[in-house]
């Protein structure tokens, strides 16, 4: 057992130097605005030019075959440098892993390079008004037609969809099959004929989502991921992945915790040991998450349902970290700014990608081996 990170040290140095030279001196405008979205897309292009947009991908798609340790190191440096949020995140962390598992060579070659360069930004289109946590009750349909499928119905809370180029998600292709069957996983253009998007605001009013309405939207067969009717299984790969490390890398929380310590140094009352105790607590939790990340990539087995343990931990840590920052800011805590933006973002953590209640059920059943509750 060791924690020897020296193998990734040259890479760390390269990344750090590049970031120091390239991270914008003033923060980009919020990526939940048209202007900010464009600025973040340009930043993705810049990262891609340095082969830093998708470091763990194969070189042929724009990556550099980085090891998992190098990927963790990249994330540490990236967030420590205060680099911009990743507008390409939905595609890179949700769709790409699914394609690596189920995609055809043609799909990989066609979809991944523009995803890596930011030329195509992807939006997740999963939830529906009646199906938030309960994906198996999806109702938007994909109907067979000549050479492809026609999409109809509605998706909502579609992250990034207000400004993105393309979307992906499961649609009901066989209305006769029972809940988990008869779904097909599809990719589609957001500017296609028949797609209407209505931006909707998240908790701070920023249009981080959209509602999508589909009216006979044509999708060719080449944009089905996995086999038709296998959409549930394909989607579960994505959620499995989403609950692991990739959605929330340790570097993100360690950087935020370090900034919280900095905030304490600047704005905290040194005599207020109650606040100091809370800062220490979240910093320790961020360190725990970082070390757990090294443990996770050291394992050779599939972490499977244990990814739910990660999801519960990071989402609660993220809320606690930002609550602490707001409380430290006192009357200024409610004012717009970096910490409030982070707080609003953190509040989504315990809800999305499977609520924490569902994650705890998964932990109980699949990690602890408790009997399945009677439904």
Partner 1 sequence: MRFILDAEQRLFAETLDKLLAEAATAAVAREWAAGGHEPGLALWRSLAGAGVLALAVPESAGGAGPLPVELVTAFHELGRHGVPGPYVETAAAAVMLGRLPESSPATAWLPAIADGTLVASLALPPAVPYALDADVAGLVLSVDGEELRVAGHGEARVSLDPARRLFSVTAGEVITSGAAAAEAYDMGALVCAAQLVGVGRRLLEVSVDHARTRRQFGRPIGEFQAVRHHLADALVGLEYARPLVYGAALSYGTPGFAADVSAAKASAAESAYTAARIALQVHGAIGYTDEYDPSLLIRKARALHTAWGSPAAHRARVMSALV
In the complex with its own copies, the residue whose CB is nearer, 331 or 374, is: 374
Please identify which residue in 274, 300, 302, 372 interacts with its own copies, judged by CB under 8 A.
274
For residue 294, state whether it binds partner 1 (rule: CB under 8 A): yes
The label of the residue with tokens 């009717």 reads 229
What is the rounded distance in angstroms from the CA atom of residue 1 to the CA atom of residue 340? 40
Window of 27-35, 241-249, 271-279, 310-318 that interacts with its own copies by CB under 8 A: 271-279
What is the rounded distance in angstroms from the CA atom of residue 174 to the CA atom of residue 143? 8
Please identify which residue in 261, 263, 302, 318 interacts with partner 1, judged by CB under 8 A.
261
What is the rounded distance in angstroms from the CA atom of residue 101 to the CA atom of residue 135? 21
Least distance (Å) between residue 207 CB and partner 1:
9
Angle at the Cα of 92 from the Cα atoms of 115 and 211, rounded to 5 degrees: 85
Please identify which residue in 265, 273, 284, 327 interacts with its own copies, judged by CB under 8 A.
273
Candidates 318, 320, 308; CA nearest to 349 is: 318
In the complex with partner 1, the residue whose CB is nearer, 193 or 372, is: 372
In the complex with partner 1, the residue whose CB is nearer, 8 or 225, is: 8
Catalytic residue chosen out of the listed positions 70, 75, 211, 242: 242
Least distance (Å) between residue 335 CB and its own copies:
24
Residue 271 binding target from partner 1, its own copies, none, CB below 5 to 8 Å by type: its own copies
Residues 324-363 that bind partner 1 (CB under 8 A): 326-327, 330-336, 340, 343-344, 347-348, 350-352, 355-357, 359-361, 363
What is the rounded distance in angstroms from the CA atom of residue 21 to the CA atom of residue 102? 38
Least distance (Å) between residue 194 CB and partner 1:
24
Candidates 238, 245, 275; CA nearest to 260 is: 275
Q: How far is CA 134 from CA 180, 202, 218, 359, in A?
A: 10, 21, 26, 13
Least distance (Å) between residue 51 CB and partner 1:
23
Window of 88-96, 131-139, 206-214, 272-280 that interacts with its own copies by CB under 8 A: 272-280
For residue 312, state whether it binds partner 1 (rule: CB under 8 A): yes
At residue 307, the 3 state secondary structure works out as helix
Q: How far is CA 349 from CA 244, 288, 344, in A?
A: 13, 18, 10
Residues 164-203 that bind partner 1 (CB under 8 A): 200-203
Q: Taking CB under 8 A as the rule, which mask of x and - marks residues 231-270 in contact with its own copies? A: ----------------------------------------
Burial of 263-284, coded b for 16+ CB within 10 Å and e otherwise, reads bbeeebeeeeeebbebbeebbe
Q: Go through the chain and tell me how many residues it has.
A: 375
H-run or E-run covering 167: strand 166-172
Q: List contacts with its own copies (CB under 8 A).
A: 271-274, 276-277, 374-375
- The residues that are catalytic are 242
């Amino acid at each position: 057992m060791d924690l020897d990170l020296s193998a990734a040290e040259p890479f760390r140095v390269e990344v750090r130097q590049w970031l120091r030279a390239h991270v914008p001196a003033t923060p980009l405008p919020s990526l939940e605005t048209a202007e900010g979205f464009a600025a973040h897309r340009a930043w993705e292009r810049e990262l891609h030019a340095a082969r830093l947009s998708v470091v763990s991908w194969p070189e042929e798609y724009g990556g550099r075959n980085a090891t998992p340790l190098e990927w963790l190191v990249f994330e540490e440096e990236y967030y420590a440098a205060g680099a911009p949020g990743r507008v390409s995140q939905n595609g890179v962390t949700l769709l790409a892993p699914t394609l690596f598992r189920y995609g055809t060579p043609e799909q990989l070659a066609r979809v991944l390079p523009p995803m890596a360069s930011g030329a195509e930004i992807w939006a997740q289109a999963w939830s529906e008004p009646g199906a938030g946590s309960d994906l198996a009750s999806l109702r938007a349909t994909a109907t067979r037609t000549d050479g492809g499928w026609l999409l109809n119905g509605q998706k909502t809370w579609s992250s990034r969809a207000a400004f993105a180029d393309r979307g992906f998600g499961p649609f009901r292709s066989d209305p006769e099959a029972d809940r988990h069957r008869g779904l097909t996983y599809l990719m589609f253009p957001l500017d296609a004929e028949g797609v209407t998007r209505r931006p909707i605001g998240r908790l701070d009013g920023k249009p981080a989502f959209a509602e999508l309405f589909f009216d006979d939207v044509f999708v060719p067969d080449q944009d089905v991921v996995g086999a038709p009717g296998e959409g549930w299984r394909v989607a579960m790969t994505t959620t499995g992945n989403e609950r692991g490390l990739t959605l929330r890398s340790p570097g993100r929380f360690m950087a935020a915790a370090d900034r919280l310590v900095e905030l304490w140094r600047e704005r905290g009352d040194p005599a207020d040991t109650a606040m100091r105790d809370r800062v220490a607590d979240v910093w320790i939790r961020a360190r725990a998450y970082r070390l757990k990340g090294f443990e996770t990539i050291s394992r050779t087995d599939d972490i499977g349902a244990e990814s739910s343990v990660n999801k519960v931990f990071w989402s609660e840590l993220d809320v606690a970290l930002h609550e602490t920052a707001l409380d430290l800011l006192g009357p200024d805590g409610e004012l717009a700014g970096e910490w409030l933006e982070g707080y609003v973002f953190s509040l989504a953590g315990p809800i999305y990608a499977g609520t924490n209640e569902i994650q705890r059920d998964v932990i109980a059943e699949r990690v602890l081996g408790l009997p399945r509750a009677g439904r």
